[in-house]
Amino acid sequence: MATVTHLSSINPATLENVGEVPIHTPADVLAAVQRARLAQPAWAALSVQRRLHTMRRYQTVIVENIDRIVETVWKETSKPRTEVLVEIFAVLEMIRHYRNVAAKALAPRKVSSGIVLHKRAYKRYEPMGVIGVISPWNYPFLLPHTPVLTALIAGNAVVLKPSELTSLTGQLIGQLLKQVLPDPEVFQIVTGTGETGAALVTAGTDKICFTGSVATGKKIMAAAADSLTPVVMELGGKDPMIVCADADLERASAGAVWAAFSNSGQTCMAVERVYVVDSVAEAFTAKVVAKTNALRQGVDSGDIEIGAMISERQRKIVESHVASAIQQGAQVLTGGREGTNGFAYEPTVLSDVTSEMPVMQEETFGPVLPIMRVPDVQTAVRLANETPFGLTASVWTRDTGRGEIIAAQLNAGVVCVNDHLVNYGIPALPFGGIKESGFGRLHGEEGLMEMVRVKSVVVDRLGLSREPYWFPYTRQMTGLLEQAIKFLYR
pLDDT band with cut points at 50, 70 and 90 for residue 48: very high
Q: Shortest CA distance to 266 belongs to which of 230, 237, 297, 298?
A: 237
pLDDT band at 301 (very low <50, low <70, confident <90, very high): low
Length in residues, the chain: 490
**Residue 268 catalytic?**
yes
pLDDT tens column, 249-295: 999 999 999 999 999 999 999 999 999 999 999 999 999 999 999 99
pLDDT band for 302, please (50, 70, 90 cuts). confident
Is residue 297 over pLDDT 70? Answer: yes
- Cβ burial of 264 (10 Å; 0-12, 13-18, 19+) is buried
**pLDDT, average across residues 9-22:** 96
Category of 87 on φ-ψ map: left (φ > 0), alpha (ψ -120 to 50) or beta: alpha
Please pick, among 76, 87, 209, 268, the residue that the annotation labels catalytic. Answer: 268
Residue 365 sits at the vertex; the CA angle it makes with 362 and 366, to the nearest 5 degrees, is: 120
Can you tell me the mean pLDDT for 399-405?
A: 98
* Alpha helices per DSSP H over 46-108: 48-64, 66-77, 81-106
Element (H, E) at 29: helix 26-45
Please state the rounded mean pLDDT for residues 359-380. 98
- Give 396's pLDDT tier (boundaries 50, 70, 90): very high
pLDDT at residue 1 tops 60: no
| Torsion angles phi and psi, residue 445, rounded to 5 | -60, -30
Paired strand residues for 349: 334, 369
Contact 396, 243 (CB under 8 A): yes
Q: Is the peptide bond before 140 cis (omega within 30 degrees of 0)?
A: no
pLDDT reported for residue 23:
97
Distance CA 288, CA 140 (A): 29
The pLDDT of residue 457: 98
The pLDDT, as a whole number, for residue 2 is: 58
Mean local confidence (pLDDT), 195-214: 97
Q: Percent of the chain at pLDDT above 70?
A: 99
The string of pLDDT tens digits covering residues 337-354 is: 999 999 999 999 999 999
Q: Mapping DSSP to helix (H, G, I), strand (E, B) and coil, where does residue 57 land?
A: helix
8 A C-beta contact, residue 106 and residue 113:
no
Catalytic residue among 185, 234, 436, 450: 234
Report in angstroms the alpha-carbon separations of 385 from 239, 355, 409.
10, 12, 9
445 vs 450: CA distance, rounded Å: 9
| 371 pLDDT more than 90 | yes
Determine the residue type at 229. Answer: T
Could you read off the pLDDT of 424-465 as tens digits, one per residue? 999 999 999 999 999 999 999 999 999 999 999 999 999 999
Instruction: Name the packing angle between helices 377-385 and 400-409 (round to 10°).
Output: 40
73-97 pLDDT, tens digit per residue, is 999 999 999 999 999 999 999 999 9
Residues whose CB is less than 8 angstroms from the CB of residue 41 and which lie 6 or more positions away in sequence, other chains included: none
- For the beta carbon of residue 364, count every other beta carbon within 10 angstroms: 27
The structure's pTM equals 0.96
Distance in angstroms (rounded) separating the CA atoms of residues 332 and 349 = 6
Q: Which of 144, 202, 135 is nearest to 163 (CA)?
A: 135
* Active-site annotation holds for 356: no
484 has a pLDDT exceeding 90? yes
C-alpha dihedral, 298 to 304 to 310 to 315, nearest 10°: -60
24-28, 195-199, 225-229, 465-469: which range is least confident on average? Answer: 465-469
Q: Sketch out the chain's domains with CATH numbers.
A: 6-234 (3.40.605.10), 239-426 (3.40.309.10)
Residue 217 has pLDDT above 60, yes or no: yes
